[in-house]
Amino acid sequence: MRMSERLRRFCKYWNGYDQWSAANKAIARAFPDLPNAAPPIDLKALARRRGVRDVVYGELSEDGHIVESQGGNYIIVLNSAHPESRQRFTIAHEIAHTFFFEALGKEYRDPIDEVAHQHYDEEEKVCDYIATRLLLPNESFTSILKSEGFGAAAIATVSQKFRISLRATARRLVAEAPVQVAAYFWEEDVESGNFIVRWKEPQDRWSKRGDQQIVLSALEPAYQVFRRAEDFRGRYWLSLGGPQDRYFVDGFCLSNKRIRYLTLVVLNGAAERYFGLSTPHHVAIEAQGSLFD
């Protein structure tokens, strides 16, 4: 079956006008109580309700996969070497595949395992979309943003409460932000004392591997602010790979031994209207940093 045909059947079965609306309806139908679930979301319980008999761990080269077991149930296999937050994302992604299996029917169930991961890009995107919404239901996200305020601190809070990596949480916030923002994860380079961007969301689509690193050195005005290892918010002169500009930056200090920051940088829009000028209450982030990737 061609991909478009698989998607068409998925939309029809879950009664959506496109794959995203079908995905939202599938989630709502399968897990009507999800918006009220306490964090972190119990993914193994969700998996059981989708007919997953067991979640097992193995030495894999990929993130994980789902296989049919005897009796028509499923088994999810996870990469045992991955950190918890990544395994949680993978379980959620594999649960999402069951919505396709249900919609496509038994005759179209092949390819059921990692083959699907290689050949059905569109389907994979829908499964990622569903995964992020199982890990962090829309309603919970909206209510946290309301209570915490929009900003880097809210990303840290959500990441910690829902056991989602900072990066995945940042990606979600950036995608749904009312202004054009980008999130940067900075880490102090112990030898040089510079701050280096380890990841950025959204990623530049056009950028290739081996692109120039974004580095904040002592020559730049914002450097002294980063050195303080405290939260900050306001306009700062900064270079983000291009010429310096006076960006509105919301900085959340993740750790102060080896200094790490999560910053939200407003790329355009009236930043002050969304952020206000005072920094929000600081939440402590676990020291071992398993959510930092």
What is residue 199's DSSP assignment?
E
As measured in angstroms, the least distance from the Cβ of 116 to Zn ion is: 5
As measured in angstroms, the least distance from the Cβ of 127 to Zn ion is: 5
As measured in angstroms, the least distance from the Cβ of 86 to Zn ion is: 14
Residue 76: partners with Cβ closer than 8 Å, 6 or more residues away: 47, 52, 54, 55, 56, 64, 65, 66, 90, 91, 94, 95
Strand partners, 216: 195
* Closer residue to Zn ion, CB minimum distance, 98 or 263: 98
* Closer residue to Zn ion, CB minimum distance, 119 or 258: 119
As measured in angstroms, the least distance from the Cβ of 128 to Zn ion is: 8
As measured in angstroms, the least distance from the Cβ of 106 to Zn ion is: 19
As measured in angstroms, the least distance from the Cβ of 124 to Zn ion is: 5
As measured in angstroms, the least distance from the Cβ of 113 to Zn ion is: 9
d(CA 92, CA 10): 18
Cα distances (Å, whole numbers) of residue 68 to 72, 76, 128, 289: 6, 9, 20, 35
* Closer residue to Zn ion, CB minimum distance, 125 or 282: 125
* Closer residue to Zn ion, CB minimum distance, 98 or 255: 98
As measured in angstroms, the least distance from the Cβ of 270 to Zn ion is: 40
DSSP strand pairing (180-188 vs 232-238): unpaired
Give yes or no for a cis peptide into 111 (omega within 30° of 0): yes
8 A C-beta contact, residue 109 and residue 101 = yes
Q: Which residues of 127-161 are buried (b: 16+ CB within 10 A; e: fewer)?
A: bebbbbbbbbbeebbeebbeebbbbbbbbbbbbbb
* Closer residue to Zn ion, CB minimum distance, 127 or 156: 127
Q: Which residues of 31-62 are buried (b: 16+ CB within 10 A; e: fewer)?
A: beebeebebbbebeebbeebbbeebeeeebee
Least Cα distance to 131 among 66, 205, 209, 81 occurs for: 66
Binding site for Zn ion (CB under 5 A): 117, 124, 127
* Closer residue to Zn ion, CB minimum distance, 6 or 117: 117
* Closer residue to Zn ion, CB minimum distance, 132 or 140: 132
* Closer residue to Zn ion, CB minimum distance, 47 or 127: 127
Dihedral sign, CA of 155, 156, 161, 166? positive
Closest residue to Zn ion: CB criterion: 117
